[in-house]
Structures are given as structure tokens and as C-alpha cells.
Amino acid sequence: MSVAPPGPRPAVSSARALRMAAPIAVALALVPLVLPPYSSILLAYGLVMAIGALGFNLLLGYTGLLSFGHSAYFGVGAYAVALMVKYLKVTSMELFLVGAIVASIMITALFGVVCVRYTTIFFGILTLALSQVLWSLAFKFFWVTGGTDGLRVPTPSLFGGLVTGAGDKITFMSHAYYYYVLIMFCLCVALMWVIVNSPFGMALQAIRDNETRARFVGVRIWPYRWVAFLVSGVFTGLAGALWVPLNGLTTPDIMHWTFSGEIVFMTVLGGFRSFAGPIVGAVVFNYLKTYAVGYTVYWQLLLGVVLVALVLSLPTGIVGTAGRLLARFQGRS
């Protein structure tokens, strides 16, 4: 007997999801108090990537569209911040976020018009090609973007200037900025939860499952895909904007298609059929990559082997497998 899978409504009610999420949010809030600064900063990177993966999965998991171009929107968010610093001398994180959102909307709206008329490999290739266009612009227009040297982004001020980055940068990033990222992460998770469990989210899943039937129950396919594309891109752009002060520098590498591959990989690793999958996948991938880089110069080889082994042994992702094991355990007890 097939019953509703874990994750998408109505298998997990919002009240139950909140009960599950609240202790995790509390635990995340305690991290800077109990762990060294390095761990907090590493987790902040993971949470930022989780926002991006969450946005990406609105397309893959809920709409059935595999994008290989999400590095573009991540880069747009990051470069929007860096260019605001360079040309407008802005230091407010809130203005950075507004700028990144506006820039992401403009780019994803345009790219979306081109891409959402296609599906499967055609959609994937188009998104990849368009992201490579942005990458080459960032790479070649060095007098604007800094080329391969990239653009530096200083420590921003937070909450309308109430918290500034004056003083030790490590302390700022591992405490004030970590909490800023955590708040944004919680807001993004809550917002995405509402979106995927809204009537609009149901329509996306209908399009994913059966486009023809979706048309014949009155769902307009392209506009819905376009909005999903837009929301997905804005989430990823927001992640880029939050990432760049952590990193202190943005370079064209984050717009390259290989970075899109990382976003795909972290989502698949966590499990794209569940709401929490991309979040878990992003955090785990971030740790794996960091420790692989620190362990050996052949880190890409090591990371690749570990990831292939994980995906082969956990075909429904970490969250999908955990859900199945939990269901089996509950069935026995």
C-alpha cells in the first residue's frame, strides 16, 4: 500500500513540523555558546548553503525541473553585495539583502522566461548555458567585477547599524553574524514551508507529476513554472548575499557551472523528495568538503568517492533513508 511520502503536505502537519523544528532551532542557537568560533562559522556556511539548496529544491523536488544554473543566482546575490560596496559604499546588511533580492529578481525573471518553456535535459542545458554567460561576464569584465581577483566585501553592519563589525572579525562572524544567518535561515525555512504547502505548492507538484492533467484542471503551466523559477532564484540569490560577508571575497568561481553541480549534489545527498533533505544535505556537504580540503590535496578525489558511496548507499538521500528507517522502527515497536 502506498501512502503519502514524508515531507510534503499533508503527511507532516505544520504544527508537527514546528514541534520538530523548534528544538533544532534552539540547538542551533546554542552553537556559538558551546562550540569554538571555527565551528560556528563553518555551520553558518552550511546554513547559508541550505537556504540556496532549499530554493533549488523548489524547482527539482517540487516542480520536477533540474537546473544546472543555480550558481548564477548565487553569484548574482554575492556580486550585487560586492558591487554595492564598491560603487555605493554601502555597509548595511539589510540594504545588501534588498539589493541582492532586486538583482536576483531581475536576472531570474529574465532567465525564467527563456527556460520554463522547456523541461528535462533542455531545461537543464539552458540554465547551464545562461549561468555560463554570467560567469564569463564576471570573468572578462574585470574592471567592474575584479576578474579572477574578485571583489572584497568588508564586515557589514547588522540590524540597521545596531551591531557593527568593529573589533575582532572572528568573534563578529561566529556570534553576531552567525545569529543573523540563523534568523534569515529560520525565516527562509518558514517561508518555503508555507510556499510548498500552499495551493501554489500543490500546483507545482501537480505539474511535476502530470503536466497534461494539470492543464486540464486549470493550472497554467508556464506562469507557475516561472514563479517557481523566480522564487527559487531569489532564495539562492539571498544565500549568495549572506555568503559573501562570511567569505569576505567573491570571485567568478561561484558562478561557474561546477558550483551549480555542488548545489545539485547537496540536494540529492540530503534527499530532494523531502522538505528537510536539501537543508541536511547542504550542511553535511559543507562539512565533508571542508574536512576533505583540510585532509588532503587530493580532496576532490576523496570527496567524490565519499559522495558517490553515500548516494549509492542512500538512494533516497539522508533524510529519505532516515525517514524510512524511522517508519520501520515505529512499525516494529
Contact positions toward another protein, by CB under 8 A?
1-5, 9-10, 13-14, 194-195, 197-203, 205-206, 208-210, 212-220, 224, 227, 231
The least distance separating another protein from the CB of residue 65, rounded to whole angstroms, comes to: 15
The least distance separating another protein from the CB of residue 4, rounded to whole angstroms, comes to: 5
In the structure grid, which three cell numbers stand for residue 42, read together? 563553518
Instruction: Report the residue number, 140 or 213, with the smaller CB distance to another protein.
Output: 213
Q: Which residues contact 4 (CB under 8 A, 6 or more apart)?
A: 10, 11
Instruction: Report the residue number, 84 or 227, with the smaller CB distance to another protein.
Output: 227
Instruction: Report the residue number, 149 or 209, with the smaller CB distance to another protein.
Output: 209
The least distance separating another protein from the CB of residue 21, rounded to whole angstroms, comes to: 15
Instruction: Report the residue number, 213 or 328, with the smaller CB distance to another protein.
Output: 213
The least distance separating another protein from the CB of residue 196, rounded to whole angstroms, comes to: 9
The Cα 322–Cα 327 span in angstroms is: 9
Instruction: Report the residue number, 151 or 319, with the smaller CB distance to another protein.
Output: 319
The least distance separating another protein from the CB of residue 205, rounded to whole angstroms, comes to: 6
| Cα-to-chain-centroid distance, residue 176 | 21
Contact 118, 59 (CB under 8 A): no
In the structure grid, which three cell numbers stand for residue 162, read together? 545596531
Instruction: Report the residue number, 230 or 276, with the smaller CB distance to another protein.
Output: 230
The Cα 295–Cα 252 span in angstroms is: 25
Residue type, 268: V
Mapping DSSP onto H, E and C, the string for 99-118 reads: HHHHHHHHHHHHHHHHHCCC
The Cα 58–Cα 121 span in angstroms is: 18
State the number of CA atoms in the 13 A half-sphere of 326 facing the CB: 8
The Cα 58–Cα 275 span in angstroms is: 9
The least distance separating another protein from the CB of residue 19, rounded to whole angstroms, comes to: 16
Instruction: Report the residue number, 59 or 128, with the smaller CB distance to another protein.
Output: 59
The Cα 38–Cα 237 span in angstroms is: 25
The least distance separating another protein from the CB of residue 199, rounded to whole angstroms, comes to: 4
Going from the C-alpha of 207 to that of each of 2, 103, 124, 212, the distances in angstroms are: 20, 28, 17, 8
The least distance separating another protein from the CB of residue 209, rounded to whole angstroms, comes to: 4
The Cα 74–Cα 69 span in angstroms is: 9
Instruction: Report the residue number, 4 or 88, with the smaller CB distance to another protein.
Output: 4
